[in-house]
Amino acid sequence: MIDPHVHLRDGKQQHKETLLHGLRVAEKIGLAAVFDMPNTAPPILHRSDVLRRLSIARAAGSSVFYGLYCGLTSDSTQITEAVECVREFQQVVGLKLFAGKSTGNLSIPDTVSQRRVFQTLTEHDYRGVLAIHCEDEADFRPTDWDPQRPITHTMVRPPIAEIHSITKMIKLARETRFKGTLHVCHISLSESVEIIEAARMDIAFQITCGATPHHLLLWDTTMENADGLLLKMNPPLRSKSNQIALMQMLLDGRIDWIETDHAPHLKKEKLEPPYASGIPGFPILPDLLRILREKGASDSLISRITHDRVCEIFGLAIPNREIQDIDVFNEYEVNAYSDWIKKRKQTE
């Protein structure tokens, strides 16, 4: 399996996870490759950042292929340098645009700046992957946040924020004649998949989407317990009916691939201000693949959504490996999903 969306921290966030540790866990569970996101501290924006990051990954000595995204700002010069990094380094697999704020300070929330990004990529004939975190900050409702009721996070970042952002990104890509692949990261709504499918009917570029284990297996009311803050993530968990629909779309081959959005934090960082978003994704993969097979997923479908489609879109030839059904939850301090599994089994 290839995991095309991970956050391996390191740098100033070594207390969360190092590249060495993340790659070791990835190797343990059988991942063939991971693609690391650029909202690190410091972020990955320039050639010097890329060289430093790849050097650290190389020193880890892992057999797991390490891919890296270069982050984007609204500065045309920086965007140009990022494009050149994709062309120079095979391990720089694509570019990442945060259309809404998440972890870190790389968000580009305004339409004018977002358009500049697309226009600059078109001017440089960029034909690679542009991965986008699609949440429109104009739809955020921060005053609804109440850490005593963690489920309010789902109201702060409502479904319409994702829908509006995806619609706008497609519109901007179309208007600027974008030539690459627009990838919608960690899609959380069945309606978003339908918007993407409809857009494919009349666009000149490719558009893909990925779904995470937590959006495929969990839903909003799982946050209504004492440890609800541990399940805070961006985009948030959605309704039970949406979770069921999203899972069926994956089984029907309507979602391109699985991506964990692996994002470890210390428990203290999750339970105290600013209440960090994200959970470790690696440990959930074995359970997700087991559930997919129980639901009738064929070997060919599983191969496609965990490996083949990623290689096809990114133009990489990475030998496949099979995920090992082992428990690695004890590798991370936050085990919210593991705790949820135990409670689920107790009620079955």
Residue 93 · residue 66 · CB < 8 Å: no
Q: How confident is the prediction for the chain on average, in pLDDT? A: 94
Q: pLDDT per residue over 273-316, tens digit each?
A: 999 999 999 999 999 999 999 999 999 999 999 999 999 999 99
Long-range contacts formed by 113-120: CB under 8 A, 24+ apart: 113/74, 114/168, 114/169, 114/172, 115/172, 115/175, 115/176, 116/74, 116/76, 116/79, 117/72, 117/74, 117/79, 118/172, 118/173, 118/175, 118/176, 118/178, 119/176, 120/76, 120/79, 120/80
Angle (nearest 5°) at CA 258 between 84 and 97: 35
Lowest mean pLDDT, pick from 3-12, 95-104, 200-209: 95-104
Q: What pLDDT, on a 0 to 100 scale, did the predictor assign at position 348?
A: 45
Asked if pLDDT for residue 339 goes beyond 90, the answer is no
Compute the average pLDDT of residues 120-145: 97
**pTM for the full predicted model:** 0.96
Q: What is the pLDDT of residue 75?
A: 95
CA triple 187-287-325, angle to 5 deg: 130
H/E segment holding residue 125? none
- Beta bridge partners, 36, equal 6, 68
pLDDT band at 342 (very low <50, low <70, confident <90, very high): low
Distances (CA, A) of 9 to 36, 60, 61, 257: 9, 14, 17, 23
Closest by CA position to 5, among listed 35, 33, 32: 35
pLDDT tens digits, 242-282: 999 999 999 999 999 999 999 999 999 999 999 999 999 99
Those residues whose C-beta lies under 8 Å from the C-beta of residue 143, and which sit 6 or more positions away, are none
In one-letter notation, the amino acid at residue 115 is R
Structural domain tally of the chain? 1
For the sheet with 33-36, list strands across it. Answer: 2-6, 33-36, 65-71, 92-98, 129-133, 181-184, 206-211, 257-258
Q: How confident is the model at residue 105 (pLDDT cuts 50, 70, 90)?
A: confident
Q: What is the pLDDT of residue 345?
A: 52
- Per this entry, what is the length of the chain? 348
Mean pLDDT for 157-186 is: 98
Structural domain for 254, as ranges: 2-347
Q: Where are the alpha helices (DSSP H) in the chain?
A: 19-29, 47-59, 76-88, 111-123, 153-156, 159-175, 190-199, 213-217, 240-251, 267-271, 285-294, 299-303, 309-314, 336-347
The tens digit of pLDDT for each residue in 204-243 reads: 999 999 999 999 999 999 999 778 999 999 999 999 999 9
Please state, for a pLDDT cut of 90, what percent of the chain lies above it: 91
What's the pLDDT score for residue 74? 94
Weakest-pLDDT range from 34-48, 77-91, 169-183, 225-239: 225-239
> Using 50, 70 and 90 to split pLDDT, how confident is the model at 103?
low
Question: What's the CATH number where 247 sits?
Answer: 3.20.20.140
Residue 347: per-residue pLDDT: 47
**What mean pLDDT do residues 164-171 have?**
98
**Cβ pair 341, 287 in contact under 8 A:** yes
**Per-residue pLDDT for 341 more than 80?**
no
39-76 per-position pLDDT tens digit = 999 999 999 999 999 999 999 999 999 999 999 999 99
